[in-house]
Chain A
């Protein structure tokens, strides 16, 4: 199904295109060493500009999820799973994604997952599968 893709910018392209090289890239502050998301030119914790995308493991757990059943558009193939995955690198380092290749009824909070990229045009979507 066609997905709405993000407009790429100097700040966000690392996240959306890291998958080209098989890398999940998350911004990290050199000063306070904290990862943060979404990417930004400045660290929201210590306001340092010494930030850069850094490769992370791509492993995490499901913080919460939902099985979408509603066909919001005619092309949407429901049901599918939308989840918030928390990466293992840092507490609360998380983002919205889809869980693929797992029967929806088996998805649960705390489930271990790993990233798998799906290319759509010039974007490599970081989706997740059961680890």
Chain B
């Protein structure tokens, strides 16, 4: 156990999300402002109350569509006066902004931190289909400490690396395409109840099996769908959170560990960072996996949702295929509903904070047509390969 669990001093008090477009006609900044102002208002705060900003991955590549708006641009646009702000890619995956923001609050630097994540990959892909290719992360020769080991072998998409993990999962545990399909099918069923979701038409097992093979064993429907969107979350110190509009959702435990190399091929092919993350998270709480009422698990690629189910102890290691088989267990009325807004596979690749937004909606019983049974404990996790972070959330 750890001596001090700083995250317990922090709560989520407000959430916001822009339109989710494919594409949107709005700028990345306008999407960001829509999400952030909605979140501030949702918490019952004014912009003057915000004294910190956090974002993953920030404006890490000069405004490219993976993350066109960082904390600096947002600070200027909203005229925020802050004690602390931070962004950047090099952290424990898409939940890094929340993890860093929570630390800023727990350390006493901030009372209310605005965390956001904006992505405009859909509109960029209207005119440049290769905008997201790994080979375009560097100009000329590949000088990236990580990608240079893959791009010379024509690994041009993360899909190839995730497919390699999936192949190993199939080999080691007997996982099948029909089992993997349940992640995509479940997300599609849930998306049909989410007016903001991108793909809302029904999908059958046949549709899934006949979808284009991208990189064996991953098909098109195993890959998330690009969108333009921004999501924002307000973190508040617990003692001031109680004065906010919503019942505070406490951060009961964070998982952010990486006990292996930060690498897509040197890391465990069946565990990624996720198992390190899960072990850390559960070491910081008395709650147990059986206490979890809903799980919003990263589905940039369907295999990653399966790995998170195992890594967070929601099913035994290697058993995720059998756990999701048939889909009933993970359905909205199942024993462990997952990705209740359609995830990224059908809802849209909001890339990380979308899961937390949805977890809060469910905990606050505001998820309308897709609301699941009342519960107090939710888990969210995001990332794949060496990227990984998780949050255990509790509404008291």
Contact = CB atoms under 8 A, between A and B. Distances in A.
B179 interface: no
B53 interface: no
- The residue in A96, A98, A109 that gathers the most chain B C-beta atoms within 10 A of its C-beta is A96
B141 to A, nearest CB: 4
Interface stretch (B147-155, B181-189, B198-206, B353-361): B147-155
Interface string B205-236: 00000001111111000000000000000000
Interface size class of B (residues with CB under 8 A): 35 or more
Interface residues of A, number: 37
B215 to A, nearest CB: 5
Interface in A57-73: 63-70, 72-73
A68 B168 contact: no
A3 interface: yes
Interface in A30-87: 37-38, 44, 63-70, 72-73, 76, 80, 82-84
B287 interface: no
Nearest to B146: A38
A10 interface: no
A123 interface: yes
A66 B154 contact: no
Given A64-B171, A84-B164, A5 B157 contact: no
Contacts of B152: 3-6, 120, 123, 125
A54 to B, nearest CB: 18
A66 B216 contact: yes
Contact of A96 (B130, B165, B166, B265): B265
Contact of A98 (B133, B154, B157, B264): B154
Contact of A82 (B130, B135, B138, B164): B164
Contact of B215 (A3, A6, A12, A68): A68
Contact of A67 (B138, B161, B215, B264): B215
B163 interface: yes
Given A5-B142, A66-B215, A109 B156 contact: no
Residue among A70, A76, A92, A125 with most chain B CB within 10 A = A70
Contact of B130 (A66, A73, A109): A73
Nearest to A67: B216
Contact of A7 (B133, B143, B168, B213): B143
A97 interface: yes
B266 interface: yes
A3 B171 CA distance: 30
Nearest to A105: B216
Nearest to A16: B152
A92 B263 CA distance: 13
Given A63-B168, A95-B265, A69 B155 contact: no
B167 A125 contact: no
A28 interface: no
B159 interface: yes
A109 B270 CA distance: 14
27 contacts: A1-B154, A3-B152, A3-B154, A4-B151, A4-B154, A5-B142, A6-B149, A7-B138, A38-B149, A44-B261, A63-B168, A63-B269, A64-B168, A64-B269, A65-B167, A66-B167, A69-B213, A69-B214, A82-B153, A82-B164, A82-B215, A84-B164, A94-B265, A96-B264, A97-B153, A123-B152, A125-B153
Interface of A: 1, 3-8, 12, 37-38, 44, 63-70, 72-73, 76, 80, 82-84, 92, 94-98, 109, 120, 123, 125, 127
